[in-house]
């Protein structure tokens, strides 16, 4: 078993094929942008942070092999291929945020007459490579802030029961995870009694991937059916729900894996705190509310078949949105690497997000 979803060293990139887990651990070589686009689109790599990292690293791999005599040729290639990578999966904002930043950065390098094409190329690749370590550091901060927020709501020494949805751990990020990073921090502090997690139909990211991670780390956990959540909250005294995010609107509305919205509704009914764990790069201040978030719809075969075996009657009509949007009013707090914020407080993060973008090339 391995939790290393992304292998990158000396310009060589491989990603763990998550469609084969937990049965088989197999790495796919990524030779360039086309390979990166395909593994993202086919969900062989998934999770908003991991999508951005793999997409950008696939570009770094490709341009590292090329020679550029003119800076403008490099800039044009970077811009075109980053915009192509954004199209692989439209809902998660991290890839777009990274692309916007990197395009701005390549333009600033292009405009600096003191920098040669070769130096421009090297600096650009280094900025992408820095994303790996930054993501791990951010994830650990998210985990610590989230664990502290949850423990502040219980008595000293009390162990907690957490519910999470989909997969938000090492397999969805560079390492450690967002929502699952919070679970890991609670476990490390000996304050986690149990982590309940949903199967997450139709792709079963919970049953296949979250189970894989929790078993690997020997974290006490229980898999439940998606339809069990309401009864679980009624009977198991859940202390908090922690989920990830693919895109957070400026008002706090949050797009995440399909099924998140209904969990938030049930949590509100049972007065269970509902947290979203996500890096600043998942917050999209250009989108005012969740109504403006584009929701990806996946092929119906993902619902009608499991392991290429049909489980639904031939001819049935399917609707398969990959995400839903949880209204901000149902969210207790959004856990970021800068702390935990109520949805109404997100505006205070806008300047920090800009500082975050400006700092990336120097990491």
Which residue numbers are catalytic? 246
Spatial distance between the Cα atoms of 188 and 136, rounded to a whole number of angstroms? 17
Spatial distance between the Cα atoms of 160 and 241, rounded to a whole number of angstroms? 11
Spatial distance between the Cα atoms of 196 and 20, rounded to a whole number of angstroms? 23
Task: Give the relative orientation of helices 117-151 and 48-64 as an angle to the nearest 10 degrees.
Answer: 160
Contacts 24+ apart (CB under 8 A), 291-294: 291/253, 291/325, 292/249, 293/91, 293/247, 293/249, 293/253, 293/255, 293/323, 293/325, 294/90, 294/91
Q: How many CB atoms lie within 10 A of CB 262?
A: 16
Contacts of 285 (CB under 8 A, 6+ apart): 250, 346, 350, 353
Spatial distance between the Cα atoms of 359 and 363, rounded to a whole number of angstroms? 7
Q: Please, are residues 53 and 13 in contact by the beta-carbon 8 Å criterion? A: no
Contacts of 108 (CB under 8 A, 6+ apart): none
Strands of 240-243's sheet in order across: 221-224, 192-198, 160-164, 240-243, 274-277, 333-336, 339-341
Give the tokens for residue 25.
Answer: 């651990």
Contacts of 186 (CB under 8 A, 6+ apart): 147, 150, 151, 160, 162, 192
Spatial distance between the Cα atoms of 28 and 216, rounded to a whole number of angstroms? 22
Q: How far is C-alpha 275 from the chain's CA centre?
A: 15
**∠ Cα 198 269 196 (to 5°):** 20
C-alpha distances out from residue 183 to 124, 221, 242, 260, Å: 35, 10, 9, 17
């Amino acid at each position: 078993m391995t939790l290393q979803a992304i292998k990158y060293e000396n310009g060589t990139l491989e990603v763990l094929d998550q469609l084969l887990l937990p049965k088989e651990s197999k790495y796919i070589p990524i030779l360039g942008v086309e390979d990166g686009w395909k593994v993202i689109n086919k969900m062989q790599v998934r999770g908003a942070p991991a999508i951005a990292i793999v997409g950008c690293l696939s570009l770094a791999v490709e341009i590292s092999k090329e020679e550029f005599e003119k800076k403008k040729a490099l800039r044009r290639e970077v811009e075109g291929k980053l915009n192509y990578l954004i199209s692989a999966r439209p809902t998660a904002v991290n890839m777009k945020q990274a692309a916007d930043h990197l395009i701005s950065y390549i333009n600033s390098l292009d405009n600096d007459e003191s920098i040669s094409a070769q130096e421009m190329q090297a600096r650009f690749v280094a900025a992408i490579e820095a994303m790996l370590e930054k993501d791990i550091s951010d994830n650990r901060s998210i985990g610590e802030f989230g664990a502290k927020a949850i423990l502040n709501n219980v008595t000293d020494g009390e162990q907690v029961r957490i519910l999470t949805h989909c997969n938000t751990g090492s397999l969805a990020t560079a390492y450690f995870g967002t929502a699952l990073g919070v679970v890991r921090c609670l476990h490390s502090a000996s304050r986690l009694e149990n982590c309940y997690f949903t199967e997450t139909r139709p792709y079963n990211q919970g049953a296949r991937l979250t189970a894989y991670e929790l078993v690997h780390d020997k974290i006490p956990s229980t898999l439940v059916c998606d339809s069990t959540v309401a009864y679980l909250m009624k009977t198991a005294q859940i202390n908090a729900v922690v989920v990830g995010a693919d895109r957070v609107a400026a008002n706090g509305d949050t797009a995440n894996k399909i099924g998140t919205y209904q969990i938030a509704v049930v949590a509100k009914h049972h007065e269970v705190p509902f947290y979203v764990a996500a890096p600043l790069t998942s917050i999209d201040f250009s989108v005012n509310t969740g109504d403006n978030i584009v929701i990806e719809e996946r092929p119906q075969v993902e619902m009608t078949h499991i392991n290429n075996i049909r489980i639904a009657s031939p001819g049935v009509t399917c609707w398969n949105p990959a995400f839903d949007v949880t209204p901000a009013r149902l969210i207790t707090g959004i856990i970021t690497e800068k702390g935990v914020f109520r949805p109404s407080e997100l505006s205070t993060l806008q300047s920090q997000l800009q500082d975050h973008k400006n700092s990336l090339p120097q990491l």
